[in-house]
Amino acid sequence: MRADRLVATLLLMQSRGRATAAELAEELEVSVATARRDLEALSVAGIPVYPQPGRGGGWSLVGGARTDLSGLSATEAQALFLLVGPAAAVSDEAKAAMRKLVRALPQTFRADAEAAASATMIDPTRWGERDRRRPEMVDLLQDAVIRRRKVRLTYSNSARQQSERLVDPWGLVDKDDTWYLLAGTDKGQRTFRVDRIMASEPTDHPAERPDGFALATAWERIVGQMEEKRSRTWATVLIEARFVPILRDHFGRHCHTDAELDDGRVRVRLAAPTPLDIARNLAGWGAMVEVLDPSSVQSELARIGGELVGRYGPG
């Protein structure tokens, strides 16, 4: 993308003040003719880049002209537009930020930046659903995280038992349309599902956060623990090779192809928290899937089959 090269050229000129077309070409891995055309394009765009004739000449950036994006590399600038563009479809704040970012660029390559920003979009609504917005509770908790203020939560656990807790909010994570709050409590770090928070009251008490806390690292550790729980039971099954992608879609990272057989089937290893979880996912396949082991999954499938025959069979 030419906009990338123009941004990169401008950033290099800002850092060096003077450079030859050959030096820029070597740095940007383009031809000397391309580097010279880019310098001329910057000059035409109104950026004070001028050729300096004679021995030791080259091109100079007069007056140290700068842009508001001078701290970014060309690829970082493009990545920023690619990131903000989709978010602007669902956030007025992101849309306003994108407009300001585009205006910070020289006129010559604003069009390419806008194209990058509009190359992808996010539609958070599933088919058949009404328009969904981020829960207001998330905004309230996010403000507490930023301001570092303790929050009093009324929380309902998986057994629907409610309790009140005073927590130090550390960060929020959106995982597959479900929001989670990572927070410090009197019993250490805890993870709360935001949709189970019945009420949230910010306080004026400053929140404590461990030194060196990194949200991404903490969440990666939580995901690892959850994945370990979700893979306590493993089963070996046989299925036609063409259906393996569907199994992989159901079981995600807990679906591993083991070996291909001569009859066109594939041996696959699957994992879930319990034998019943695996059986429930495989029951709809009928005889298209053969479970080799363990016997606990086979027993659950037989029980489910018996229930279906009892409910829907003859007589």
**94-146, pLDDT tens digit by residue?**
666 666 666 666 555 566 666 666 655 555 566 666 656 678 898 899 889 98
Residue-level pLDDT at 290: 96
Name the most confidently modeled range: 16-25, 94-103, 287-296. 287-296
223-255 as b/e: b if 16+ CB within 10 A: eeeeeeebeebebebbbeeeebeebbeebeebb
169, 156 in Cβ contact below 8 A? Answer: no
> Would you tell me how many other CB atoms lie within 10 Å of the CB of residue 44?
11
Residue-level pLDDT at 224: 85
The structural domains of the chain, ordered by start, are 1-122 (1.10.10), 136-214 (2.30.30.520), 231-312 (3.30.70)
Strand-pair category, 188-193 with 58-61: unpaired
Residue-level pLDDT at 36: 86
**70-82, pLDDT tens digit by residue?**
455 555 566 666 6
Q: Does residue 122 come out as left (phi exceeding 0), alpha (psi in the -120 to 50 range) or beta? A: beta
The reply to whether the predicted model has a pTM over 0.85 is no
**Percent of the chain at pLDDT above 90?**
36
Helix residue ranges per DSSP H, the chain: 2-16, 21-28, 32-44, 74-88, 92-103, 110-117, 136-147, 215-230, 244-251, 275-282, 295-312
Residue-level pLDDT at 72: 54
Average pLDDT, the chain: 81
Residue-level pLDDT at 31: 86
Q: Residue 1: pLDDT band by 50, 70, 90 thresholds?
A: very low
> Would you tell me how many other CB atoms lie within 10 Å of the CB of residue 154?
14
**Phi, psi of 51, rounded to the nearest 5 degrees:** -75, 140
The answer to whether the peptide bond before residue 294 is cis (omega within 30 degrees of 0) is: yes
**48-64, pLDDT tens digit by residue?**
777 877 666 688 876 65
CA 133 to chain centre: 18
Higher pLDDT, 180 or 16: 180
Q: Residue 176: pLDDT band by 50, 70, 90 thresholds?
A: confident
**190-220, pLDDT tens digit by residue?**
999 999 999 999 999 999 998 888 888 888 8
Who contacts 175 (Cβ-Cβ below 8 Å, separation ≥6)?
none
Helix residue ranges per DSSP H, 66-155: 74-88, 92-103, 110-117, 136-147
What DSSP state is assigned to residue 158?
T
Strand-pair category, 58-61 with 18-19: antiparallel
